[in-house]
Amino acid sequence: MTGKGVLNRAHAYKASVDKNEATGNDPDADVTAGLFMYPVLMGADILMFRTHKVPVGRDQIQHIEMARDMAQRFNHLYGEHLVLPEAVIEESVALLPGLDGRKMSKSYDNTIPLFTPREQLRKLIAGILTDSRAPGEPKETEGSALFQIYQAFASAPETAALRQAYADGISWGDAKQLLFERIDQEVAPMRERYHAFINDPDQLEAILQAGAQKARQVASPFMGELRQAVGLRKLSAQAVVAKKDKVSKTAAPAFKQYREADGQFYFKLLDADARLLLQSQGFESPKDAAQTIKVLQKEGSAALVTLQGKVDIAQGISTAELDAALHFFAVASS
């Protein structure tokens, strides 16, 4: 579902290629399959749980856009199954700067690990890059990494108070102390809980396994639906259904999709003896044909009322024969 051209445009991959080319190395030097395919993994994590809204920073929007591309292509080929996610961005913290003023990133080694020991946190914050304005000189909040990081943790009144302090000429040392106290106030309880988990691996493993089980309860049935949509069905499925319903092998119909010379997409419903039961009219896209098949499989012959003009019962076929054939698909999907 994901073209190589799409993955070539991923920010992390492009950054590695640009770095290699700048140093005269092979463009793909030290580029792993994991790095190159990471957007697919991210997309799968999002799409598997039919996510509608995904909170991200501005630098992560591309991942959401790629996930949407994957979902749109799958839906186009196999019918509407995947939800197209939307990025949700909190503008005040859409892109956090790091200690050196650049985008905060492990690649730049300019991050602030939130669960680092208290004194190490103080030391990191003290190293945030600032300009040379002395105490008493008014300072600009625009472009100030220190102010932007503070804003991500503070309330609106607290942010307004620091903005005023900037205008009044607060010293950088005092501003950094305010930032340290505000972050530590927020993360101290979480830091304590984090270390409690790290020191109790059995409890941590139990939580992870419980989360995995919860995820499987949602993902496994959906994976079954997607496999069915693309044709990756169990070979034993028809035999099991036939045995369960005690019907003869002649009750094993199949939909056949094809494209005619007129460029339209068609399908027909055949029984096990290849006898024509139902014939469709032409559709503009395979997606439209697949969706119509899905309606018939779900609603049976009752769907013919709403699909009038799109499908026709073959000559000589009774409603009872058609009902029996469509009932096969209803049972198979249950």
- What is the DSSP secondary-structure string of 157-206? HHHHHHHHHHHHT--HHHHHHHHHHHHHHHHHHHHHHHHHHHT-HHHHHH
The residue-averaged pLDDT of 218-236 equals 86
Instruction: Please say if the pLDDT value at position 233 is more than 80.
Output: no
Q: Which of 266, 237, 255 is nearest to 325 (CA)?
A: 255
Domain ranges of the chain: 4-91, 106-199, 237-333
* Burial label, 257 (beta-carbon count in 10 A; 0-12, 13-18, 19+): middle
pLDDT bucket at 189, cuts 50 / 70 / 90: very high
pLDDT score of 70 more than 70:
yes
pLDDT band at 250 (very low <50, low <70, confident <90, very high): very low
Tally of CA atoms within 13 A in the half-sphere of 90 that contains its CB: 7
Contacts of residue 170, defined as CB under 8 A and 6 or more positions apart, other chains included, come to 135, 139, 162
Q: State residue 33's pLDDT score.
A: 94
Using pLDDT thresholds of 50, 70 and 90, give the confidence band for residue 332.
low
Residue range 40-67: mean pLDDT, rounded:
92
Decide if 106-199 and 237-333 have a common fold.
Answer: no
What burial class does residue 70 get, using C-beta atoms within 10 Å of its C-beta: 0-12 exposed, 13-18 middle, 19+ buried?
Answer: buried
How far, in Å, CA of 137 to CA of 89, rounded?
34
Does residue 54 sit in helix, strand or coil?
Answer: strand
Which is more confidently placed, 332 or 164?
Answer: 164
Q: What are phi and psi of 268, to 5 degrees?
A: -140, 155
Residue with tokens 């019918």: 79
Q: State the pLDDT confidence band at 220, using cuts at 50, 70 and 90.
A: very high
Q: Which residues partner with 54 through β-bridges?
A: 87
| DSSP track, 247-291 | --GGG--EEEEEE-TTS-EEEEEE-TT--EEEEE--BSSHHHHHH
- Residue 103 three-state SS: strand
The arithmetic mean of pLDDT across residues 229-246, rounded, is: 64
Q: What are the residues whose beta carbons fall under 8 Å from the beta carbon of 220, sequence distance 6 or more? A: none
Q: Which of 140, 155, 145 is nearest to 125 (CA)?
A: 145
pTM for the full predicted model: 0.59
Q: What pLDDT shows up at residue 57?
A: 81
- Reported as a pLDDT band with limits 50, 70 and 90, residue 334 is low
Is residue 135 scored above 50 in pLDDT?
yes
Distance CA 150, CA 152 (A): 5
| pLDDT mean over 217-241 | 80
What local confidence, expressed as pLDDT, does residue 249 receive?
44
State what percent of residues in the chain have pLDDT above 70. 93
Is the pLDDT at 251 greater than 70, yes or no? Answer: no
Mean pLDDT for the stretch of residues 58-81: 92
Read off the pLDDT of each residue in 219-236 and give the average, rounded to a whole number.
Answer: 86
Contact 280, 266 (CB under 8 A): yes
pLDDT band for position 231 (cuts 50, 70, 90): confident
pLDDT tens string 305-315:
888 889 999 88
pLDDT of residue 92: 62
CATH fold of 237-333, please?
Double Stranded RNA Binding Domain (3.30.160)
Q: Which CATH number fits domain 4-91: 3.40.50.620, 3.10.20.30, 3.30.70.260, 1.10.10.10?
A: 3.40.50.620
Q: Cβ atoms within 10 A of the Cβ of 105, count?
A: 14
pLDDT band of residue 65 (cuts 50, 70, 90) is very high
CATH number for the segment(s) 106-199 = 1.10.240.10
With vertex at residue 170, the alpha carbon angle to CA 165 and CA 171, rounded to the nearest 5 degrees, is: 155
The percent of residues above 90 in pLDDT, for the chain, comes to 59
Is residue 180 within 8 Å of residue 150, measured between CB atoms? no
pLDDT at position 125 over 80: yes
Determine contact, residues 35/28, Cβ cutoff 8 Å: no
Q: Which long-range contacts (CB under 8 A, 24 or more apart) does 128-131 make?
A: 128/99, 128/176, 128/179, 129/99, 129/100, 129/101, 130/172
